[in-house]
Amino acid sequence: MCERRWRPEFDVDLDAVLAPLRRGHADPCFRRDGGVWLTANTAGGPATLRLSRSDVDIVGIAWGDGAEAVLDGLPALLGADDDDSGFVSHHDAVARARRALPRLRLGATRRVWDVLVPAVLEQKVTGYEARRSWRELCRRFGEPAPGPAPGGMRVPPTPAAVLSIVDWNWHRSGVDSARRRALRAAATVAGRLEEAVSLGGAEGRRLLRTVPGIGVWTAAEVAQRAWGDADAVSFGDFHIPAVVGHALLGRELDDAGMHEVLAPYAPHRHRVVRYLEAAGHTRPRYGPRYPIRDYRAI
């Protein structure tokens, strides 16, 4: 076990900064119990991290071979590297959200693989389907969380574990052939993909997109979490253009329209989306929903 006490120079909202890492209420890699528990794969091995607040300090306690690595990354994880200088609100909705959420920051795990797997699983399926597959893969192919973690917590499957999965186990986990091919392709070059963190920005996203099956949307979802990319918009998302359009213009937008309306915010376009989502803006609930499928029954 290792422990670190960190006193940030800004007020940290643990729930807000870590929310993008949680994949549903039953995420086996993320739990709350008054503090926040996370699991991770690091270059040194698996780790469990518990974060809590003690007066003005953030207390991190970690277990496993990767304990020191996750504690070293604690400030970045909680947004210490996030720089919103130069940000200007061009819409009332954004200005209101920014005033209401002064502690909202973009955190960075500084690791690609653990956020890439669930991002690929979320490609072109409902959130329900993706979260179910994530739980199944972690339960079957992820290691038990090191240390005294809450029951059922697992470490995300490693690249080697993903490459070991046979077709019928992919099927049992509800993962179709396109997503399994993307995951296997990424697993074969997982070490190289970690270099995207040091590249950052558009160059980091471009490196991720060299993997077959990883496009603009998936690269953005990874960049937002792995290096806190403030400009990585999830173009191609089923919901986000509608959220942005209704929040800023009072009407539906497509990707092209969202690109246009967010252009003045560069290099903080994702930050705008994050403000709007955290402020409670959602897609209006009308029209057909994306159908929930169960690939295990096919």
Cα-Cα end-to-end distance for the chain: 45
Question: Which pLDDT score, from 0 to 100, does residue 44 have?
Answer: 95
CB within 8 A of 55, min separation 6: which ones?
A: none
Strands of the 2-6 sheet, one edge to the other: 2-6, 57-63, 45-54, 36-42, 30-32
Question: Which pLDDT score, from 0 to 100, does residue 290 have?
Answer: 53
Name the DSSP letter for residue 112.
S
**Integer CA distances (angstroms), 73 to 2, 6, 30, 107, in order:** 13, 11, 17, 10
Question: Which pLDDT score, from 0 to 100, does residue 283 have?
Answer: 81
CA distance 238 to 235: 9
CB within 8 A of 164, min separation 6: which ones?
A: 141
**In this structure, is the dihedral angle defined by the CA atoms of residues 237, 263, 283 and 114, taken in order, positive or negative?**
positive
| Count of C-beta atoms within a 10 Å radius of residue 26 | 12
CA distance 24 to 35: 17
CA distance 218 to 123: 7
Using one digit for the tens of pLDDT, what is the confidence trace for 200-221? 999 999 999 999 999 999 999 9
Which tokens is 235 given? 């173009």
CA distance 148 to 48: 9
Question: Which pLDDT score, from 0 to 100, does residue 55 have?
Answer: 85
Using one digit for the tens of pLDDT, what is the confidence trace for 170-183? 999 999 999 999 99
Diameter of the chain by CA atoms? 53
| Count of C-beta atoms within a 10 Å radius of residue 144 | 15
Please list the ranges in the chain whose pLDDT falls under 70.
286-298
Q: What backbone torsions phi and psi does residue 52 show, to the nearest 5 degrees? A: -150, 170
Q: Helices marked H in 101-214 — which ranges?
A: 113-121, 127-141, 159-164, 167-172, 177-188, 190-193, 195-199, 201-208
Peptide bond into 212 cis (omega under 30): no
Question: Which pLDDT score, from 0 to 100, does residue 136 have?
Answer: 97
Do the beta carbons of residue 29 and residue 39 sit within 8 Å? yes
Q: Which residues pair with 36 in a beta bridge?
A: 32, 51
Question: Which pLDDT score, from 0 to 100, does residue 260 have?
Answer: 97
